[in-house]
Amino acid sequence: MTEPEILTRVENGVGRITLNRPKALHALNLGMCEIMTAALLDWRDDDAVRSVLIDHAGERGFCAGGDIRMIAESGATDAVEAKAFFHAEYRLNHLLFTWPKPVTAIVDGIVMGGGVGISEPAGVRVATERTTYAMPETGIGLFPDVGGSWFLPRLPGETGTWLALTGARLKAADTVALGIHTHFVLSAQVNALKAALLSDGPEAVGAQAGDAGPAPLAPHREAIDRLFAHDRVEDIVAALEADGSDWALPQLAILKTKSPQSLKVTLRQLRLGRGMTDFAEAMAMEYRLGGRVVRTHDFQEGVRAVIVDKDNAPQWSPATLGEVDDAAIEALFAPLPDGEEWTPLS
């Protein structure tokens, strides 16, 4: 008997969703998204369910993202399976974002990509000293989806732009300081926190929370806001080159390893998302992008280099920012034909 990849149950008025695919770092697939969605819909109008708690089984992290191998294999053909996954995943993201009752997510360990998408909509987001947060998609020719176009531009200053373009990894002191996560609890206290949640509800988190410590990113916030404020990736690169500091030059070196196409898609996505007033609008944009980007050379090559062959030497095409065709980027954002656009659950 194989264990279910998502465990759902109600305990003392708390609807519990536990990710249960530890060998894959709880990477999300279509079935997992559908199970979570069904549970949330069942509980939405159930007066016996007062709140929701999302956590994970095992010690290896909360959720490392989506099932990238499946997405790449689908994108190499007709992308039908990949688009079905995105459609369901983004509906789940939107359902959580609009869910009418309190949601708590405990992100004890790695939280990237799809894991961000199911934790960031929660009103209470608890990190531990084991938390590592990142949106690393530009390194595999993708873009920060699952609501990244909504959440990242709403972080302080240009920190979201910096995170999205570089794929930087943050620990809890920085994620709490930026508001990515709302509370910090030592991993040794997580079980006690869950018991308090089940007994007293989400308001118990504040009493259990502690200090995550000083934020290592704090000294660089001014530089981030200044250097990453531009609306063209070329201008960000030029600003980093001109600055030439011991912090700016490593950021420049990181950007030069990323897919030029993905950098341009991502910056445009974030700038558009910043002006949106409806989370569903952001998800519709990301769905347009997702079904198209997974069929591009850079996504296929990025997955080969980072996940399949693991040589970490992707050959991007176009190879430079200057060679990326603006019309090709524009086409990735274009509306879909009638009947093919993403829509939220009613």
Active-site position among 114, 147, 167, 302: 114
For the record, the structure tokens of 162 come out as 């910096």
For the record, the structure tokens of 266 come out as 């991502």
Spatial distance between the Cα atoms of 245 and 204, rounded to a whole number of angstroms:
44
Q: What is the DSSP letter of 306?
A: I
For residue 317, count other CB atoms closer than 10 A to its CB: 15
E strands, the chain, in order: 6-11, 14-19, 51-56, 103-107, 110-112, 124-127, 132-134, 183-184
Is 66 annotated as catalytic?
yes
CB-based burial label for 28 (10 Å; 0-12, 13-18, 19+): buried
Contact between 282 and 149 under an 8 Å Cβ cutoff? The reply is yes
Active-site position among 5, 55, 137, 298: 137
Active-site position among 15, 61, 65, 66: 66
Contact between 137 and 299 under an 8 Å Cβ cutoff? The reply is no
Is 137 annotated as catalytic?
yes
Active-site position among 145, 174, 286, 301: 145
Is 145 annotated as catalytic?
yes
Beta bridge partners, 134, equal 112
Spatial distance between the Cα atoms of 138 and 163, rounded to a whole number of angstroms:
10
Which residues are known catalytic residues?
A: 66, 114, 137, 145
